[in-house]
A and B are shown apart, each in its own frame.
Chain A
Amino acid sequence: MRPVRQRLIFLFLLIRLTAAYPQEEKIPYYIMEAAEELSEYDTDADAAGEFAVRLSELAEKPIRINTADENELSGLFFLTDFQIKSLADYIRKTGKIYTIYEIAAIPGFDASLARMIAPFVSLDDYKQINGKPSGFRNDLLSNFTLKYPEADTSAPGESWKILARYRFSAGKFSGHITSEKDAGEKLFPGKMPVTDFLSAGLVWEGAGLIRKVIAGDFGARYGLGTAINTGLRTGLSLTQTGYLTGGDEIRPYTSGDENLFFRGVAVQLRRGNTGMTMFCSRNRIDASTDTAENSQMVTIRTFQRSGLHTTASSLASKDAVAESSYGISFSTDIRALRLNLLWVQNRFSVPVMNNDPSPGELYDFSGRTSSTASAAYRYMPGRLLLYGEISLNLPDRKAWVQGISFRPSDRLSVNMVYRHYDPGFFSFHGKGLFSSSSGDNSEGLFGNFIFEAARHLFLSAGADVRSHPWLRYRCSAPSTTFGREIRLRYLPTENFSFEAVYSKRASVYDITESTGIKKQNETEASLLKLSFRYLASDHLTLTTRIDCKRVSPSGSEGIIMLQDVSWRISGIPATLWFRHCIIRTGDWDSRIYAYENDLVNSFSVPALWGNGSRTCIMLTVKAWKSTDLRIKFASGDSYGSEGNKNSGEMKIQVRVRF
């Protein structure tokens, strides 16, 4: 047994390390990459916010890695499968990890990665880390956001957005209430003093047969997520894959997406290596409806996912349809093999009619009921990992995914994934591996490798080709998209890191000017990102980033240069973060996305374009022992032939823990 002194030294180091890094330092680079990818290529604006919520939860409730099994370790979703396995194997062999520096010595990890995961893991039990017993704990968070100019001046409500979230935990019980008013919505749109979106849930967690019970709003994920995944989409970055194989979980729903979650009861059981989850849900969701002239029958025209209710039509579509969902899942572990079976059914109170579809809608869902059966496996013998999933929309639409990862040496890992999503395959709560936000109509092959070329030097490269056998958004013909990326990371010291990423993506889109039958052309975007991070002292962190983009055939070019300064002010518990960014892009096509620091539980990845600048400043103050205050101000200017445009936002967050 190691001496107590050593533990105390470690504890001091851990606290010092965590305190030395401001909030943005805790965001793993994989998350920033994924958030930028989501913002650029995904039409779901809220998707990036899910990362913020998950990271915030992880930071608040770090994973106790010394007692966690592989499934629990997979909560560190930004690690790869091999890193999770490597970590689990190391703990199994040595019994316990005593210092964060031990993690750096585990195959697949390095000092930078160990430092990155430090805020999200606990090396001992909860009592020792926090110095007080886990009694009744409360967490109240409130965000206020005001943007200018107003996006919609005709909206019925005030232009500010407010979010309030209360969470508590008491022994085996925990719960949450989330309330949100989007910009332009009325604070209390109905007769009751309740905001537009209200979500609540109660959770009980045990260690016996019944592991978890959730009553209220919850999210779920099974297998690779093709059938159900209300959480993070995987397979976003070509060179930073993260935890590809996902896992099985039900969790209280705390995200801001107003339509994706389940509302009901979920129960998770486990005995030995076998687990079972059951859930039932009835939730009202947004949809535009039509009424047939002859029959007076109401049907669903489209589902609305934005959650924004500021126009007459969006208010009419609010909670227009009741969705009932039932599901049951079995999983079992047989040595290195994990099997998972899932059946889920969705039933809508109003049918979706697709009587006279346009070519793009030919395969769209119609009817009242959808059933999906899914089977997934994961097999990990030694340095090889095989995983796959097949999902069937009964009776005949399917999605299947097959992946292989192997690690021929500790310094090299290789991933390949094939996936096929039938046109018309729909999973109302699914986000499969490498799926798009629409989730269907693609077949593709992905491959990448990550190689530690030398000490402190990491090289990774990836390519993805996908074909769309049927029409898709902004493309009225079958098409193919292609992406490749190469990344170099150099971490010569703990204080300095350098990263260079070059990516190229080719996609086919309709030519907007073409008349009659739409013609398409291929658009290729090349992006070079250079970033330097330097920890000048315990108090000062500098990040410099330069991005260059070129789009062909238009020839549009863009460049941004930004500087971040994060300064932990001596003597007072406050951190000041400042960013100034100069932007010069030809047009919207050559826009560049750059992650920027934001409030806890929030994400900000603005699209930077035009000729101008963007300046942000954020002050984080620990006002009292249990109260954190964050104030962010951001302003952007753009000058050009279309005139001068100014935009900005102010955000205030108050968080009280007691």
Chain B
Amino acid sequence: MYSLHKISVSTIFIFLFSSASGGDPFFPAAGAGEAGMGWSCVTKPGFWSSFHNQALLPFNSTASAGINYHGRFGISELGTRSAALIVPVENAGLGIIYSHFGCRDLARHSAGLACGLKLSEKISAGVQADFFAEKTAGEYRERRSLSFEAGLHIMISEQACLGIHVFNPVPGALRRDYLPSSLRIGAGIMLSRELSVSSEAELSTDGGPDIRTGFEYSPSGSLRLRGGFSSQGNSFCFSVGYRLKQVQIDLGFSTHYSLGISSSASIIFSLK
């Protein structure tokens, strides 16, 4: 029999499925910097954002590895732990990511193998094969799903770019279990060498529309300040990042109008 604690966690978990910041539960909650921009990162090159839009993978010039923890609303059972590796190969980038969400009684493991390629000077595209495994305590069966996601990144000028990302465009008739699908479309602009802003819209089959916007400001070469807003949950976000030689450390926070504050921390190691 479930304890009251487990029921409450399950309730929040289900609630998250429909309306929590960050869209549906398959949304990759990875990257404290990305969280600080309200997850408005479909156009922003970066280590973790390469797994939000695989077309950004070729923008990573050095091999890097990273770990991330994203804690939702201070509840440990709703935490996401992620680890990833990116290896650049000429005009392409290869990536691998593993993520674990939940607790012992209710957990989702996801793993992805990604590849991004520069198709031309302005256009790059990427694709990621995904594997999901959901484990629920009790008599519920485990669910496993295979799918893929793909992205496109286009430089429309030296300062402005477009990003498009689609998750799970696989017809439902081909699978046994439901897996949500989503579409993210955004634009980003570099206002100066120090300041960039981005904005995007996402619609998922699991949740209403989410409009996000964010900025990144770099007052010095190693320090980055970020802020953002996500319309789902009226979430305001903030993050700070610091680069120390081969190591990039980011801390991010986001608010939810009723559920409280979520926090993120990530470390990226450049392997060169």
Interface residues of A (CB under 8 A from B): 148, 496, 534, 536-537, 540, 542, 544, 546, 559-563, 565, 580-584, 611-613, 615, 635-637, 639, 644, 646, 648
User: Contact: B181 with A646, CB < 8 Å?
Assistant: no
Query: Which single member of B122, B156, B162, B201 contacts A561 (CB below 8 Å)?
Result: B201
Does chain A have a CB within 8 A of B178? yes
Query: Which single member of B122, B152, B170, B204 contacts A537 (CB below 8 Å)?
Result: B122
The closest CB in chain A to the CB of B209 belongs to: A559
Instruction: Give the Cβ gap from A499 to chain B, nearest Cβ, in Å.
Output: 16
Query: Which single member of B173, B203, B204 contacts A648 (CB below 8 Å)?
Result: B173
User: Contact: A615 with B169, CB < 8 Å?
Assistant: yes
Query: Which single member of B123, B181, B208 contacts A613 (CB below 8 Å)?
Result: B181
User: Contact: B123 with A537, CB < 8 Å?
Assistant: yes
Does chain A have a CB within 8 A of B172? yes
Does chain A have a CB within 8 A of B185? yes
The closest CB in chain A to the CB of B155 belongs to: A536
Inter-chain CA distance A601–B144, complex, in Å, is: 42
Query: Which single member of B122, B123, B156, B183 contacts A563 (CB below 8 Å)?
Result: B183
User: Contact: B208 with A584, CB < 8 Å?
Assistant: yes
Given contacts A542-B162, A582-B183, contact A648 B171 (CB under 8 A): yes
User: Contact: A563 with B164, CB < 8 Å?
Assistant: yes
The closest CB in chain A to the CB of B120 belongs to: A537
The closest CB in chain B to the CB of A532 belongs to: B185
Instruction: Give the Cβ gap from A109 to chain B, nearest Cβ, in Å.
Output: 26
Q: Is the interface of A mostly helix, strand, loop or mixed?
A: strand
Given contacts A562-B183, A648-B173, contact A536 B205 (CB under 8 A): no
Inter-chain CA distance A540–B205, complex, in Å, is: 27
Other CB < 8 Å A-B pairs besides A542-B162, A582-B183, A639-B172, 5 of them? A584-B209, A635-B172, A639-B205, A646-B172, A648-B173
User: Contact: B122 with A580, CB < 8 Å?
Assistant: no
Chain B hits for A565, CB < 8 A: 152, 164
User: Contact: A646 with B183, CB < 8 Å?
Assistant: no
Chain B hits for A148, CB < 8 A: 173
Chain A hits for B201, CB < 8 A: 546, 561
User: Contact: B172 with A644, CB < 8 Å?
Assistant: yes
Given contacts A561-B185, A565-B152, A584-B203, contact A542 B164 (CB under 8 A): yes
Given contacts A559-B209, A584-B205, A639-B178, contact A534 B185 (CB under 8 A): no
Chain A hits for B181, CB < 8 A: 580, 582, 612-613, 637
User: Contact: A635 with B208, CB < 8 Å?
Assistant: no
Query: Which single member of A580, A584, A639 contacts B169 (CB below 8 Å)?
Result: A580
- In residues 96-117 of chain B, which contact A (Cβ within 8 Å)? none
- In residues 46-103 of chain B, which contact A (Cβ within 8 Å)? none
Inter-chain CA distance A284–B205, complex, in Å, is: 48
Inter-chain CA distance A583–B203, complex, in Å, is: 8
Inter-chain CA distance A546–B204, complex, in Å, is: 13
User: Contact: A637 with B172, CB < 8 Å?
Assistant: yes
Inter-chain CA distance A582–B178, complex, in Å, is: 15
Interface core residue of B123, B185, B204 (most chain A CB under 10 Å): B185
Inter-chain CA distance A562–B164, complex, in Å, is: 11
- In residues 195-245 of chain B, which contact A (Cβ within 8 Å)? 201, 203-205, 208-209
Instruction: Give the Cβ gap from B182 to chain A, nearest Cβ, in Å.
Output: 7
Chain B hits for A496, CB < 8 A: 156
CB-CB nearest 7 A-B residue pairs: A637-B172, A635-B171, A646-B173, A561-B203, A582-B203, A613-B181, A580-B169
Interface core residue of A562, A613, A648 (most chain B CB under 10 Å): A613
Instruction: Give the Cβ gap from A99 to chain B, nearest Cβ, in Å.
Output: 27
Does chain A have a CB within 8 A of B37? no
User: Contact: B166 with A563, CB < 8 Å?
Assistant: yes
Does chain A have a CB within 8 A of B267? no
Chain B hits for A536, CB < 8 A: 122-123, 154, 156
Inter-chain CA distance A433–B176, complex, in Å, is: 50
The closest CB in chain A to the CB of B182 belongs to: A582
Inter-chain CA distance A573–B71, complex, in Å, is: 50
Interface core residue of B156, B172, B178, B182 (most chain A CB under 10 Å): B172
Inter-chain CA distance A351–B98, complex, in Å, is: 75
Inter-chain CA distance A555–B187, complex, in Å, is: 32
The closest CB in chain A to the CB of B181 belongs to: A613
User: Contact: A534 with B156, CB < 8 Å?
Assistant: yes
Chain B hits for A540, CB < 8 A: 123, 154
Instruction: Give the Cβ gap from B156 to chain A, nearest Cβ, in Å.
Output: 7
The closest CB in chain A to the CB of B168 belongs to: A613
Inter-chain CA distance A614–B152, complex, in Å, is: 19
User: Contact: B120 with A613, CB < 8 Å?
Assistant: no
Chain B hits for A561, CB < 8 A: 183, 185, 201, 203, 209
Chain B hits for A560, CB < 8 A: 203
Inter-chain CA distance A583–B123, complex, in Å, is: 28
Inter-chain CA distance A595–B149, complex, in Å, is: 24
Chain A hits for B178, CB < 8 A: 639, 644
Inter-chain CA distance A637–B152, complex, in Å, is: 24
Instruction: Give the Cβ gap from B87 to chain A, nearest Cβ, in Å.
Output: 27
